[in-house]
Every structure is written in C-alpha cells, then in structure tokens.
C-alpha cells in the first residue's frame, strides 16, 4: 500500500472511520486470481465489509508483472473482491485496470473508508497512468456497493501535470494540479456528495505565483442508491 502523508488532519479522519481490517492470506488470494508470488510488485489484501452480506469480504489490489514484453502491458493492476465460503474464495467482483485503460499503468494503491457511515467500506483505487510520457497523472476511482452490486461512484485525476506536453495538449489544457479528498466533509453529507480540494499550480502552461485552491463537489450517490 502506498504511504500517504498527513494532509490537514486526513489521517485522523481515516483513523476514526476505518474499522479494524485483518490481513488475509495473500498467497491464497493470488492463487485464486491466477498470479504467482514472484510476479507481484505490490499487493494489498484486507478483510472488510464492502458489500451487504453476513460476513466480511476479502479485497485485493495487485500491481504485478504480466510477463509481456511491451512497455504498455508489462505491468498490470487489478482489483478482486471475494466472499469466503468455507475454504473457498468465491469471486464477487473483479476489475482489470490495464485492460480497461489500454495499459501504461503502475503503482496501484488501495484505501477503504466508510464515506456514508452505513457500516460498509467504500473502495478507493488509484494508480499512475503514463500513456503520454509528457503528462504525469495519478487517477483515482471511488467504488461503492449500491445494494445490488458494485459500481463506480466517481473517477478522475488526483495529480495531473501537462505543462510539458506542448505538442499533444491544447494550450488551455496544459494545467498542473493536485486533488485531495475532503473525507470529513464527504462523511458529513452521508456519502451523498464527494468533496474535493483542488490545488491549481499552473493554468494553460503558466505557473501561478500562488497556488489557488478550488473546492469541488461531485454527486456520489442518489437517495435511490442508498442501501
């Protein structure tokens, strides 16, 4: 799991909201998804309630070597969620982010947080995307259980720098910014709205003398999707 520095009390919010998550048998999980331990670059496996069932699920995010020689597909990131039935891990949900995005991914990170205070953890996945070597960006996705299955509540870049991509990006989009989730404010909305603080560092290729903070709000759930 990627280490995230403390930003404006973020760690305090997480500490208050997260339940105790117990490490699961990583080897067993990797075997269930057909991966060998030697190919794993980084992996996070936890047991936590992310779906409305009687027991906890096993959630695994893995960054691994695929064995392919092309730069675009040499590394992949996947998310897998299992239900344990006796000695068997039964798949509930799976995402192959490399396949979905055409490759060029690295450094997967997993966070769990109960944003709507319903006892189930929302899943936050982030990863580096380097499809354009002149654009630096880290993309995040908030995945939630809506009572029927898992779905993406929000996705977007958390870190973005296109100031060097003069040939590939129009001038008005050569921005540089960093986003940080405002978890405390999001939880006060009972997870209906995702609040984000966006720090603008450069606009249209021009670095700002002083970074500007923009408060953003994105719909995360409708009342009909509340569990």
Tens of pLDDT along 61-119?
Answer: 999 999 999 999 999 999 999 999 888 999 999 999 999 999 999 999 999 999 999 99
The tens digit of pLDDT for each residue in 112-156 reads 999 999 999 999 999 999 999 999 999 999 999 998 999 999 999
Query: Residue 160 and residue 157: Cα distance in Å, rounded?
Result: 6
Give me the pLDDT at residue 21, please. Answer: 41
pLDDT exceeds 90 at position 211: yes
pLDDT greater at residue 96 or residue 168:
96
**Other residues' Cβ atoms within 10 Å of the Cβ of residue 38:** 7
**14-23: average pLDDT:** 40
Contacts of 199 (CB under 8 A, 6+ apart): 177, 178, 179, 180, 211, 212, 213, 214
Give me the pLDDT at residue 42, please. Answer: 93
What Cα–Cα distance (Å) separates residue 30 from each residue in 5, 8, 16, 86? 28, 36, 30, 18
The two structure tokens encoding residue 194: 């995702």
pLDDT exceeds 50 at position 6: no
Is 162 in contact with 152 (CB distance < 8 Å)? no
**3-25: average pLDDT:** 40
pLDDT confidence tier of residue 9, bands split at 50, 70 and 90: very low
Is 186 in contact with 220 (CB distance < 8 Å)? yes
The tens digit of pLDDT for each residue in 24-67 reads 478 889 999 999 989 999 999 999 999 998 889 999 999 999 99
The enclosing H or E element of 57 equals strand 57-65
Give me the pLDDT at residue 80, please. Answer: 97
Domains in the chain with CATH codes: 10-158 (2.40.128)
* Alpha carbons within 13 A on the beta-carbon side of 161: 10
């Amino acid at each position: 799991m990627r280490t995230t520095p403390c930003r404006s009390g973020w760690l305090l919010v997480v500490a208050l909201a997260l339940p105790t998550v117990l490490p699961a048998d990583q080897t067993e999980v990797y075997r269930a998804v057909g991966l060998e331990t030697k190919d794993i670059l980084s992996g996070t496996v936890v047991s936590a309630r992310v779906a409305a069932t009687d027991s906890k699920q096993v959630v695994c995010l893995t960054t691994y070597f695929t064995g392919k020689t092309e730069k675009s597909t040499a590394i992949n990131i996947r998310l897998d969620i299992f239900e344990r039935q006796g000695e068997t891990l039964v798949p509930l949900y799976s995402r192959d982010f490399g396949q979905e995005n055409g490759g060029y991914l690295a450094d997967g990170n997993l966070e769990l947080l109960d944003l709507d205070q319903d006892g189930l953890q929302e899943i936050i996945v982030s990863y580096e995307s380097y499809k354009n070597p002149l654009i630096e960006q880290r993309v995040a996705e908030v995945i939630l259980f809506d009572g029927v299955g898992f779905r993406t509540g929000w996705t977007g870049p958390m870190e973005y720098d296109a100031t060097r991509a003069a040939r590939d990006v129009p001038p008005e989009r050569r921005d540089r910014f960093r986003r940080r989730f405002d978890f405390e404010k999001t939880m006060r909305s009972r997870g209906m709205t995702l609040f984000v603080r966006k720090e603008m560092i450069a606009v249209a290729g021009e670095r700002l003398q002083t970074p500007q903070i923009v408060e953003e709000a994105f719909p995360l759930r409708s009342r009909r999707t509340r569990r």
